Amino acid sequence: MIEEHTADNGQLGKAQPSQLPRTVLLASMLAGAVLGTFQIANTSIGWHLASGRWIIENRAFLRADPFSFTAAGVPWIDHEWIFQVVVALADAAAGAPLLVILRAAVVATMAVLLLVIGVRNGLSPATALLLSVLCVCGARPRFFLRPELVTLIVVPTVVWMFLSRAERRSPAWLGAVAGLMVLGVNAHGGVLVVPFLLAGLLAAEVLQMAVTGSWSRRLIVTGASAVAVAGLAVLVNPYGWRLYTVPFHLARLVGLPHIPNPEWVPASLTQTPFLFIAILLALLLLSLYERRTERWLLLFMAAALALRHVRNLGLFFVLLPLAVAPALARWPALAAQAPKDVPRSRRVQVLAVVLALVLAASMAAAPWPRFGFGFAENYFPKEACSFLERENLPGARLYNDVRFGGYLINRYFPPRGVFLDDRNEIHEPLLRRFWEIFQRSDVRAWNALLAQIEIDSALVRYHPTTRVRTPDGEDLGERGFSALWFPARDWALVYWDDVAMVLVRRDAAPDGLLERTEYHLLRPDDFAHLEGRLVAEPGLRPTAAAELRRALAANPDSERARRMAIYLAALNPDPLTDP
């Protein structure tokens, strides 16, 4: 069935199918679901789950940090509460598998949304399917189990409604904009970008009208109304106008040298090559086929956000179809037309379906993130925490790396608080102290800080080695994080695997713990230094071999231990184990 309609750019579009072919629609859903099905491996999911449980149990909103003992009571705008409640309910109902299924459903919805946007902008179903799947693949690095997923649905939907408002004769669509914005701002702060995007697009449209002399009062009035509705809807949240301060506060923080957040770094060609390729291809396409100012501006704004901060990569790819689909539709081979050759049209659709599914499957088969329905075992310190519990150590004040904070909150709160997690706005003063100490390599100040906070055990991840120099400039070589900041004279290593190490302050260790569990020689993050000692001091090799046998007995699949075993076997004619 063929019908004429007004395209999303306000001009008469080409004839399009009134309904999507079922195979194309199902392929889009399946490809999206496959691309969204992988193991959970992000640092913040733990405190999101704990926040949701707290909100449900207390029937109140979080306004201060309850999770850490270093920032307890610090004011906190928890603007992601809807997401947190949803994932907490899902986790309580069926655990990690349901969480992954929810993410897969959101990504499938995203793929269908981008497919429909492509078709509504004049693309053939086959072309729209491939464009949709390519953009979902481009956004996939941002598909963490985080509130950002809500932004990646809400933002393109509202922008699409804005750009296609010429089709709508009733102002009811503004109610949908308001509803989406209220949902979005209570699930993720990224939705705050919408009023600014809409204001920019309206300005571009007005400029186009001024240049061409073709004024449309209705488009100006409806556009201004949409900007106002989107901006005011943001205020419908538990924190009111203060929610608008969140992105500016975070932007200030990421400009500070002591705030380590790889999400906020600028995009680079080596890190995100597909982003740069997509921007170049989109610019070429628009220069050939697009004369509408708002489509150019949308591409520029989306690209600027992604290039400025790598965390906006997903936002760029979900907005890309809105910017380029009308230009693609001006290419006759890609546009929707009345089917003169039904068999040929079906063959093209089948080919597009196959290509889309093959692309989705190949992305899902990548080594990381791994396809699956649970928490990534090689990312969270599950076994190290089990050791802590066996040895009755969780009762002590535990130092933890920022990457482990969310996991510990989810596992132990309440009643146990954590040292640190990845909410930079909560822990900024502590992060500043860290940075000052690390800049000076001031081990004494570090020990004083740990003593002040009464830290007597530590859960440490593996950091890159650091080149160490004495105050007089003597080069002591590359050393591991734990060797520098948790030195063996004060701290005993009592457990390690491929994810984390557990260290205990010697003067606070429970009776008998060190005798049973201490590794006197091995520091797995400092093994490069130990290699030199083993060469220079052969007498240390039996001790190293014995400790390595114990580590392999506890964790037979440890890649780190097996690499050490290979090195030690090369020094010792009696191999530890078959590598």
Domain end position, chosen among 506, 536, 557:
506
Q: Are residues 492 and 548 in the same domain?
A: no
In a domain, 275, yes or no: no
In a domain, 63, yes or no: yes
Nearest-CA neighbor of 226 among 292, 324, 294? 294
Domain end position, chosen among 145, 173, 193:
145
pLDDT at 4: 34
In a domain, 167, yes or no: no
Tens of pLDDT, residue by residue over 395-423, are 678 999 999 999 999 999 998 999 999 99
3-class SS string, 73-141: CCECCCCCHHHHHHHHHHHHHHCHHHHHHHHHHHHHHHHHHHHHHHHHCCECHHHHHHHHHHHHHHHHH
pLDDT at 571: 83
pLDDT at 448: 93
In a domain, 532, yes or no: yes
In a domain, 327, yes or no: no
pLDDT at 395: 66
Q: Are residues 52 and 125 in the same domain?
A: yes
H-run or E-run covering 503: strand 501-505
Hunting for tokens 């699949």 — which residue is that? 557
Pairwise CA distance, residues 360 & 28, whole Å: 10
Q: Are residues 442 and 387 in the same domain?
A: yes
Q: Are residues 449 and 523 in the same domain?
A: no
pLDDT at 198: 98
Q: Are residues 460 and 556 in the same domain?
A: no
Q: Are residues 86 and 40 in the same domain?
A: yes
pTM of the model as a whole: 0.91
Q: Are residues 529 and 442 in the same domain?
A: no
Q: Are residues 83 and 28 in the same domain?
A: yes
Tens of pLDDT, residue by residue over 536-563, are 898 999 999 999 999 999 999 999 999 9
Q: Are residues 556 and 444 in the same domain?
A: no
In a domain, 1, yes or no: no
In a domain, 177, yes or no: no
Q: How many domains does the chain have?
A: 3
In a domain, 180, yes or no: no
- Residues of the chain with pLDDT below 50 are 1-18, 575-579
Q: Are residues 434 and 546 in the same domain?
A: no
pLDDT at 209: 96
* Contact of 373 with 34, CB cutoff 8 Å: no
Q: Give me the count of residues in the chain.
A: 579
Task: Classify the phi-psi angles of 493: left when phi > 0, otherwise alpha if psi is within -120 to 50, otherwise beta.
Answer: beta
What are the C-alpha distances in Å from 494 to residues 411, 502, 535?
21, 6, 25
pLDDT at 569: 86
Q: Are residues 477 and 428 in the same domain?
A: yes
Q: Domain of 427? A: 382-506
Pairwise CA distance, residues 286 & 23, whole Å: 30
Domain end position, chosen among 457, 477, 506:
506
Q: Are residues 529 and 492 in the same domain?
A: no
